[in-house]
Amino acid sequence: MSDTMTAIAVEDGRGPAEALKPVTIERPVPGPGQILIKVAAAGVNRPDIIQRMGFYPPPPGAPPTLGLEVAGVVEIGAGRWKAGDKVCALLGGGGYAQYAVCDARHALPIPEGLDFVQAAALPETVFTVFANVFEHGSLKSGETLMVHGATSGIGTTAIQMGRAAGAKVIATARGAAKAAEALSLGADVAVDAGAEDFAEVAKANGGCDVVLDMVGGDYFAKDLEALKTGGRIVFIAAQAGGEVNLSIMRLMQKRALVTGSTLRPRDADEKARLAAEIERVVWPWIAAGKVKPMVDKTFPLAQAAAAHAHLESGGHVGKVMLVV
């Protein structure tokens, strides 16, 4: 095993997609409690784009290179893992590379029947949906979940996890074609947000208990109208604007809860707790075929720039992946 490896770095530290270049760097060395993974595939996520643009620095101790999720083979084991085990893992960074290290507790076994690319599409989205929809949003069987951005990696996962948990799912997307895709993924109701008022559609369907919102901006007021009394709005991003107008009186009338979170800055113990819960709750859904990773397109590692450009174009359905 060489002491160096190929990874993807951002030329000059920040820039457009074309700034992503293959470089040769030192192979990481696992510390206490960490495993070394020979990476077979890595997920491309919107936080990677934000980091590439210079607005989302890695947390302390994380590699400066991009990549929040991988799948591959354990090269150096720790904890429950030994060399040769096949895993997928949540990372603080460094996934766009031939090798990656992570806390052994943040790796999960690859579900039976999934290949490396499918498995690498799981961690970032599943952790995000589980933490926000099921923990912060407290979604329960029989409730109604509204998912914005239905054809994104998060959206396709949230639709399936909501249905697996016994919830009714209303999904929104821009365009009739994407709305149709949401129905094919299991959404009970799909809304073309460019042509219909999703709050009115939600109310016509009895209202929502939980709204998963990565849009922000002017969606917020409609989210509040779409809620049932006692409903919860959970923010995981704000692609249309991070500032919103809030009617305190309407919030009180709805007895609504507005919350949100990020995943990457959580401490190692919290991520380990999440990983254990996800293996207990979500992995059986995957084994039963209720939740399947949706892979839109794969690119070789060296073409990370093209992968970012594809994700930024917005035409994808599901995850964009790198193959190492």
* CB contact at 8 A, 268 and 62: no
Calpha distance 316→313 (Å, rounded) = 8
* 295: pLDDT strictly greater than 90: yes
Distances from the Cα of 103 to the Cαs of 28, 44, 90, in angstroms?
13, 20, 9
User: Mind listing the pLDDT tens digit for each residue in 118-148?
Assistant: 999 999 999 999 999 999 999 999 999 999 9
User: Mind listing the pLDDT tens digit for each residue in 171-205?
Assistant: 999 999 999 999 999 999 999 999 999 999 999 99
Q: What is the pLDDT of residue 1?
A: 78
Q: Of 142, 62, 145, 138, which Cα lies nearest the Cα of 100?
A: 62
% of the chain residues with pLDDT over 70: 100
Task: Please tell me whether residue 187 adopts helix, strand or coil conformation.
Answer: coil
Q: What is the pLDDT of residue 2?
A: 85
Q: What is the pLDDT of residue 57?
A: 87
Q: What is the pLDDT of residue 112?
A: 93
User: Mind listing the pLDDT tens digit for each residue in 47-101?
Assistant: 999 999 999 888 888 899 999 999 999 999 999 999 999 999 999 999 999 999 9
Q: What is the pLDDT of residue 192?
A: 97
Q: What is the pLDDT of residue 45?
A: 96
Mean pLDDT of 232-247: 93
Q: What is the pLDDT of residue 108?
A: 98
Prediction pTM value = 0.96
Q: What is the CA radius of gyration of the chain?
A: 19
Task: Please tell me whether residue 119 adopts helix, strand or coil conformation.
Answer: helix
Q: What is the pLDDT of residue 61?
A: 87
CATH 3.90.180.10 is right for the domain spanning 4-122+265-323: yes
Topology (CATH level 3) of domain 126-260: Rossmann fold (3.40.50)
The residue count for the chain? 324
* Partners of 109 in the β-ladder: 87
- Quickly state the pLDDT bin for 107 (edges 50, 70, 90): very high
Mean pLDDT over the full length of the chain: 96
**In the chain, where are the structural domains located?**
4-122+265-323, 126-260
- Quickly state the pLDDT bin for 149 (edges 50, 70, 90): very high
Q: What is the pLDDT of residue 220?
A: 95
Q: If you write DSSP's letter for every residue of 44-113 in order, what string do you get?
A: E-HHHHHHHTTSSPPPTTS-SS--SEEEEEEEE-BTTB-TT-EEEEE-SS--SBSEEEEEGGGEEEPPTT
Residue 208 contacts by C-beta under 8 Å, 6 or more apart in sequence?
144, 145, 146, 170, 202, 226, 227, 228, 231
User: Mind listing the pLDDT tens digit for each residue in 150-173?
Assistant: 999 999 999 999 999 999 999 999
